[in-house]
């Protein structure tokens, strides 16, 4: 039985300076897949690489040989070599490997549980392996199921519905105040990384005009150019407050940049339109008293932190639902994969019975030379039907219990009772008569299909 293995490293096991040594861009997948496919132990393979993980999936002839080969291939990526230590790597086999990929596809294994990007990254890995011909029936089915499980979790749970970062929380709060953000204008004060990321999320949510104010005009212009907005100086903030709806401030100043009197003057020209101030600076950029002004909504970093904490608890509850789906789907795939072990036994059993049928039919036909062509066909059809009816029950039962130890025992018993592993044994006609066909040679459709669909169960 081949072995399904994943070897890799992630944010759970390796620091970023190690992860970046083996990270692969999508355009590097073809070369990586070619190198893994060339390994003697590997039958099928796929590569998945993101900023937080690099993983090799493979169907191999043995566990230890396959694991060692994959570890060597991973260390060879970008010359990582000795930078990867044993404790940086994880290895999973069989059901654990299936469960791992399903957890990745559903974002349960992500740095931020519920992030939507990871399912697209799994899809890209599948597409690349498919295009390079690196997949076979097992990994092709595994990655297809992973994508379906990821979609099922998105449909049946709210794992991605709650913001769990400060920048996403700010967008969520803005929607509560304004509803749809299409056509709204935003101002970023300062060029901090979190403020910039918040504004990018606001843009993605539909915000239109963007203003950038910074103490250094050049920095403001660079950020405005990147965001498709306009740059202004800090002295022009009060004028901008009359035009924008959302302000994100992160300057690092020791005194508030926005004071109550400034906001009050700006609100007189807004004719009652609400203003949302997101203060993610420490010390704070927005004077606390600004929140006392009518229709001005102020949230600081602690407010956003409380929103994030509450949402993480909600995501944790949804993650439990997602995990139950992953466990269920892991069991289904594992049952299918382990059931493949029964196929060679079913095929061998049918070949043995078919060989006996052919030998005995030919022997009988030699004694029934007086029959016409129609009657001879009836005799042949009788033999085919008899073999199918005799084997339908045992083969259906074998497929039904194939996964696990009991299935292996049943398959072993059948192989022993019917001497399926004895290359020298074949159909033994009674009375010492010699068979008139090549011993053990499969004939007809039974050699191709382990359970022909004549009233039998589908696999």
Give the integer Cα–Cα distance in Å for 220 and 196. Answer: 11
Choosing from 16, 34, 38, 51, the catalytic residue is: 51
- Segment 299-342, tens digit of pLDDT: 998 888 888 888 788 888 889 999 999 999 999 998 888 777 66
Phi-psi label, residue 28: left if phi above 0, alpha if psi -120 to 50, beta otherwise: alpha
pLDDT of residue 366: 85
Give the integer Cα–Cα distance in Å for 400 and 26. Answer: 41
Mean pLDDT for 150-164 is 86
The distance between the two most distant Cα atoms of the chain, rounded to a whole number of Å, is 116
- Segment 198-210, tens digit of pLDDT: 878 888 889 999 9
Percentages helix, strand, coil for the chain, rounded to the nearest 5? Answer: 55, 10, 30
Q: Which of 257-266, 269-278, 426-435 has the lowest mean pLDDT?
A: 426-435
Give the integer Cα–Cα distance in Å for 242 and 256. Answer: 19
Tallying the residues shown for the chain, one arrives at 459
Give the integer Cα–Cα distance in Å for 370 and 335. Answer: 52
Q: Which residue, 13, 86, 81, is CA-closest to 53?
A: 13
pLDDT of residue 8: 93
pLDDT of residue 449: 40
Pairing mode of beta strands 210-213, 230-232: parallel
Catalytic (active site) residue 51: yes
> Using an 8 Å Cβ cutoff, are 42 and 84 in contact?
no
Residue by residue, DSSP assigns 262-282 as: HHHHHHHTTTT--EEEEE--S
Domains in the chain, start-ordered, CATH in brackets? 3-161 (3.30.460.30), 166-307 (3.40.50.720), 341-447 (no CATH)
- Segment 434-452, tens digit of pLDDT: 333 333 333 333 333 434 3
pLDDT of residue 423: 52
- Predicted TM-score (pTM) of this structure: 0.62
Map tokens 């004077």 to a residue. 287
Q: Which of 4-13, 107-116, 129-138, 249-258 has the lowest mean pLDDT?
A: 107-116
Residue by residue, DSSP assigns 424-446 as: T-----GGGPPPSS-TT---SGG
Angle at which helices 373-401 and 405-417 pack, to 10 degrees?
150
> Using an 8 Å Cβ cutoff, are 296 and 290 in contact?
yes
Asked whether the predicted pLDDT for residue 281 surpasses 80, the reply is: yes
């Amino acid at each position: 039985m081949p072995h399904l293995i994943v070897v890799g490293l992630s944010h759970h096991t390796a620091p970023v300076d190690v992860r970046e040594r083996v990270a692969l861009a999508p355009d590097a997948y073809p070369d990586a897949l070619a190198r893994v496919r060339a390994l003697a132990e590997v039958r099928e393979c796929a590569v998945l690489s993101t900023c937080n993980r690099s993983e090799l999936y493979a169907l191999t002839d043995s566990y230890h040989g396959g694991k060692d080969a994959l570890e060597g291939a991973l260390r060879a990526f970008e010359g990582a070599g000795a930078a990867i230590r044993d404790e940086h790597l994880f290895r999973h086999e069989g059901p654990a490997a299936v469960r791992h990929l399903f957890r990745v596809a559903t974002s349960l294994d992500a740095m931020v549980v519920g992030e939507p990007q990871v399912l697209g990254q799994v899809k890209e890995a599948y597409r690349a392996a498919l295009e390079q011909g690196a997949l076979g029936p097992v990994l092709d089915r595994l990655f297809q199921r992973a994508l379906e499980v990821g979609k099922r979790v998105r449909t049946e749970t709210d794992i991605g519905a709650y913001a769990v970062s400060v920048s996403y929380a700010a967008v969520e709060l803005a929607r509560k105040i304004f509803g749809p953000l299409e056509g709204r204008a935003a101002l970023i004060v300062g060029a901090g990384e979190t403020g910039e990321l918040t504004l990018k999320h606001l843009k993605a949510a539909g915000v239109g005009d963007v203003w950038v104010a910074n103490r250094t005009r050049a920095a403001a212009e660079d950020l405005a150019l990147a965001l498709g907005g306009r740059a202004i100086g800090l002295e022009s903030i009060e004028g901008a407050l009359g035009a924008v709806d959302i302000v994100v401030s992160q300057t690092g100043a020791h005194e508030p940049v926005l004071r109550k009197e400034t906001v009050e003057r700006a609100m007189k020209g807004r004719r009652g339109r609400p203003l949302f101030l997101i203060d993610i600076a420490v010390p704070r950029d927005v004077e606390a008293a600004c929140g006392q002004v009518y229709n001005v909504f102020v949230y600081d970093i602690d407010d956003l932190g409380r929103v994030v904490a509450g949402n993480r608890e909600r995501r944790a509850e949804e993650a439990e639902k997602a995990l139950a789906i992953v466990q269920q789907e892991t069991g289904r795939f594992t049952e299918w994969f382990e059931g493949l072990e029964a196929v060679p036994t079913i095929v061998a059993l049918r070949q043995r019975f078919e060989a006996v049928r052919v030998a005995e039919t030919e022997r009988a036909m030699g004694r029934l030379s007086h029959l016409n062509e129609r009657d001879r066909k009836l005799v042949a059809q009788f033999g085919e039907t008899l073999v199918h009816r005799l084997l339908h029950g045992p083969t259906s039962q074998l497929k039904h219990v194939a996964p696990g130890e009991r299935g292996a025992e049943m398959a072993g018993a059948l192989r022993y009772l019917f001497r399926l592993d004895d290359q020298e044994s074949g159909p033994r006609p009674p009375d010492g008569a010699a068979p008139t066909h090549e011993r053990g040679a499969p004939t007809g459709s039974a050699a191709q299909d382990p359970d022909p669909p004549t009233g039998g169960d589908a696999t």
